């Protein structure tokens, strides 16, 4: 058996344990500001010595050693309940909790928080991106036997998570671990060292002006005509539409104010605050929207009279309600839009793409980025220009034609910058 080597002063202690492994220990700086004895382990003296040397070097450079014995599952449960719930919107919190429960906890649940490394997170994200989640989460297996149709029957449906889901997992881990750093539970945020390759960007092609015209024409005999007018012409979000109150609409001056939204959160329809601070905004109403809203008010009054004692208006004064006065289920608006699109003969797009349509039409008609940002309630111009504006091929060709006209010229325009009479000059 190899004999332990003698260590120099202040180097710590290295000895062989009864189980054959080597243990090195030394007093190092911890996250609570005190010095405590901490151990490292290796299969040989050299391995233990290397780990101990790194431990002491980190301590000497001011990098504290974590002492928390909490598992990742325990910490994330604490973070969700005590931190995330109070900082994010209810819908965002529901998404956080679902992703942690279905993805992170099954992978890292029993692992100690202080043992989590960047390579663990990177491997987890790569594995998740390539794993059928119907198989991993037993989605098909949870169905009644007569309704099972894929993975439970040995026919994998290859239901891979989206690129957005994988990136959102990294966002959650970064946020949770950063809070642990702030509370001195961890010396550093290892998730910040993880980078993902640029994923494929989802191509969004909003409706053209002709398609938008056909859609709105077909919507005129629809109960939600005003909702479609507001979505296409001023780009309101689905939740903003369904949460809109008559007190937020001034039909005389033609102004609409976004103050709240209606969303389904945890199986319950709730009135929530707008998505961001800038989402709370005032927007001028086009004449067509005013006309549609007047028709909506008349329709709602007729519905209330027809329903009589069965009218279930909540007193919130919502603009868009069912025939009985109850709030409209967000998914039912999606279904109504799909049916309307088919009847109007327009391409199949998401309801949210009507918001993209509004932005692109404004952009094509010469509206500046700042104005579009204010209308849509974006937090920055970058979001408006990078995500919501779409330059069509016809617009590109038109721009190229104008450039071609300028290059051809007719001899009457101003000279270019190549010098007098087009003669090259030294610079």
Digits of tens for pLDDT over the chain (427 positions)? 455 555 555 568 888 988 899 988 888 877 666 777 888 888 999 998 888 888 888 778 776 666 567 889 989 998 998 899 888 888 889 999 999 999 999 999 889 888 899 999 999 999 999 888 888 888 878 888 888 888 877 888 888 888 889 999 999 999 999 998 888 788 889 999 998 876 666 677 889 999 999 999 999 999 999 999 999 999 999 999 999 999 999 999 999 999 999 998 878 888 888 888 889 999 999 999 999 999 999 999 999 999 988 888 766 899 999 999 999 999 999 999 999 999 999 999 999 999 999 988 888 888 888 888 899 888 888 877 776 666 666 666 676 677 777 777 754 555 555 444 444 444 3
Residue 332: predicted pLDDT: 95
Q: What is the CATH number of the domain that holds 120?
A: 1.10.150.130
| Domain extent for 26 | 11-59
d(CA 402, CA 176): 52
Q: Is residue 284 included in any domain, yes or no?
A: yes
Q: Is residue 382 included in any domain, yes or no?
A: yes
DSSP code of residue 254? T
Q: Are residues 386 and 346 in the same domain?
A: yes
Q: Are residues 232 and 343 in the same domain?
A: yes
Q: Are residues 38 and 142 in the same domain?
A: no
Chain centroid to CA 310:
40
Q: Is residue 414 included in any domain, yes or no?
A: no
Q: Are residues 22 and 120 in the same domain?
A: no
| In contact, 7 and 37? CB cutoff 8 Å | no
H or E stretch covering 226: helix 225-234
| pLDDT tens, residue by residue, 231-244 | 999 999 999 999 99
Q: Is residue 155 included in any domain, yes or no?
A: yes
Q: Are residues 123 and 231 in the same domain?
A: no
DSSP code of residue 272? E
Q: How many domains does the chain have?
A: 3
Q: Are residues 52 and 81 in the same domain?
A: no
Tally of residues, the chain: 427
Q: Is residue 146 included in any domain, yes or no?
A: yes
Q: Is residue 102 included in any domain, yes or no?
A: yes
| pLDDT tens, residue by residue, 22-66 | 988 888 877 666 777 888 888 999 998 888 888 888 778 776 666
Helices vs strands, H then E, count in the chain:
17, 8
d(CA 408, CA 288): 43
Q: Is residue 230 included in any domain, yes or no?
A: yes
| In contact, 26 and 36? CB cutoff 8 Å | no
Q: Are residues 52 and 76 in the same domain?
A: no
Q: Are residues 285 and 351 in the same domain?
A: yes
Q: Are residues 29 and 111 in the same domain?
A: no
Q: Are residues 272 and 334 in the same domain?
A: yes
Q: Is residue 406 included in any domain, yes or no?
A: no
DSSP code of residue 255? E
Q: Are residues 212 and 342 in the same domain?
A: yes
Q: Are residues 294 and 336 in the same domain?
A: yes
| Cα separation values, 124 from 130, 165, 191, Å | 10, 13, 12
């Amino acid at each position: 058996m190899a004999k332990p080597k003698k260590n120099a002063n202040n180097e710590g202690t290295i000895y062989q344990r009864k189980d054959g492994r080597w243990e090195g220990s030394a007093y190092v700086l911890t996250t609570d500001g005190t010095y405590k004895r901490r151990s490292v382990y290796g299969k040989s003296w050299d391995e233990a010595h290397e780990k101990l040397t790194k431990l002491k070097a980190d301590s000497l450079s001011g990098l504290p050693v974590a002492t928390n014995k909490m598992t990742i599952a325990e910490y994330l449960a604490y973070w969700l309940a005590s931190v995330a719930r109070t900082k994010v919107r209810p819908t965002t919190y529901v998404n956080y909790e679902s992703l942690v429960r279905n993805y992170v906890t099954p992978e890292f649940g029993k692992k100690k928080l202080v043992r989590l490394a960047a390579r663990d997170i990177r491997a987890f994200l790569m594995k998740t991106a390539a794993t059928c989640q119907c198989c991993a989460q037993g989605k098909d297996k949870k169905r009644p036997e007569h309704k099972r149709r894929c993975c439970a029957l040995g026919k994998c449906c290859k239901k891979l998570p989206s690129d957005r889901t994988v990136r959102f997992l990294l966002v959650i881990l970064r946020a949770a671990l950063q809070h642990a750093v702030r509370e001195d539970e961890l010396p550093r945020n290892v998730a910040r060292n993880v980078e993902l390759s640029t994923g494929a960007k989802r191509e969004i092609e909003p409706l053209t002006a002709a398609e938008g015209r056909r859609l709105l024409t077909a919507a005129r005999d629809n109960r939600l005509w005003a909702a479609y007018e507001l979505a296409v012409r001023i780009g309101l979000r689905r939740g903003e539409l369904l949460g809109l109150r008559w007190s937020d609409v001034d039909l005389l001056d033609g102004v609409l104010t976004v103050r709240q939204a209606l969303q389904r959160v945890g199986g319950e329809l709730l009135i929530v605050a707008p998505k961001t601070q800038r989402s709370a905004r005032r927007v001028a109403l086009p004449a067509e929207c005013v006309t549609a809203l007047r028709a909506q008010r008349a329709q709602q009054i007729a519905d209330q009279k027809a329903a009589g004692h069965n009218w279930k208006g909540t007193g919130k004064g919502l603009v868009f309600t069912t025939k009985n006065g109850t709030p409209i289920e967000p998914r039912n608006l999606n279904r109504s839009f799909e049916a309307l699109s088919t009847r109007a003969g327009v391409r199949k797009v998401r309801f949210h793409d009507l918001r993209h349509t509004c932005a692109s039409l404004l952009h094509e008609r010469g509206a500046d980025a700042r104005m579009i940002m204010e209308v849509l309630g974006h937090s920055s111009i970058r979001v408006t220009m990078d995500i919501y504006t779409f330059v069509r091929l016809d617009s590109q060709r038109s721009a190229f034609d104008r450039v071609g006209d300028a290059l051809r010229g007719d001899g009457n325009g101003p000279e270019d910058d190549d010098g007098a009479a087009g003669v090259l000059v030294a610079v």
